[in-house]
A and B are shown apart, each in its own frame.
Chain A
Amino acid sequence: AQTVTQSQPEMSVQEAETVTLSCTYDTSESDYYLFWYKQPPSRQMILVIRQEAYKQQNATENRFSVNFQKAAKSFSLKISDSQLGDAAMYFCAYRKRYGGSQGNLIFGKGTKLSVKP
């Protein structure tokens, strides 16, 4: 069975600085997706970034980038120039890539990020 592990229950960063959130996963599949979701206190689940396993290039979305190490099964999220609005719970998630839309997300337990002014 696939598992996702986030080893940092809480992290803190100073405003404008950079922080990296860690995620490791376990799977025997070769084709899958990895995601980072942000959950602010409102509890809304917001997709931050997505990585396809077959792509070697690391995904980037503005201030958010990932370090995807397929062999090591590692998928960390880097937030640059941290802003107060980045404070939230961050979830790493895995999804096997099927031929169609079937299959669910498997989540890590989350990392609570605080941003200090």
Chain B
Amino acid sequence: DTAVSQTPKYLVTQMGNDKSIKCEQNLGHDTMYWYKQDSKKFLKIMFSYNNKELIINETVPNRFSPKSPDKAHLNLHINSLELGDSAVYFCASTGFSGNTIYFGEGSWLTVV
């Protein structure tokens, strides 16, 4: 019954690998986001999709590529992982009113 679910929750991987984080929401929302929380706990928007269309694309290395197969899913693929990619990645979504943004539980990525 989780509203916004992300998998995996924990991911430890080596530098240079490619990995994906998946996100699904069952709230019927039409906008989804990826946020990154760094080691200092600063939260910053990476991407946003509205009805499968990219609407926010912040200054993020092009090794990061979001994909939205439908409006309930927003996946994040990361190529050639670097140590600095270690962070907690949050998926979030909001509905038409936009008055509340719901977050997933976060995916802890550690690059070694």
Contact = CB atoms under 8 A, between A and B. Distances in A.
Contacts of B55: 102
A95 B97 CA distance: 12
B50 interface: yes
Q: How large is the interface on A (under 10, 10 to 19, 20 to 34, 35 or more residues)?
A: 20 to 34
B43 interface: yes
Contacts of A117: none
Contact of B106 (A35, A44, A52): A44
Please classify the interface of chain B as helix (H, G, I), strand (E, B), loop, or mixed, using the class held by over half of its residues: strand
A91 B98 CA distance: 18
A28 interface: no
Contacts of A110: 41-42
Nearest to B94: A101
A102 B31 contact: yes
Contacts of B100: 47, 50
Given A91-B43, A107-B42, A44 B48 contact: no
Given A45-B90, A107-B42, A107-B43, A102 B98 contact: yes
Contacts of B37: 43
Given A91-B43, A100-B96, A105 B101 contact: yes
A43 B106 contact: yes
B42 A52 contact: no
Contacts of A104: 33, 45, 48, 56
A97 B34 CA distance: 19
8 contacts: A43-B108, A44-B106, A45-B103, A52-B99, A95-B101, A102-B48, A104-B33, A104-B56
Interface of A: 33, 35, 37, 39, 42-45, 47, 50, 52, 89, 91, 95, 97-98, 100-107, 109-110
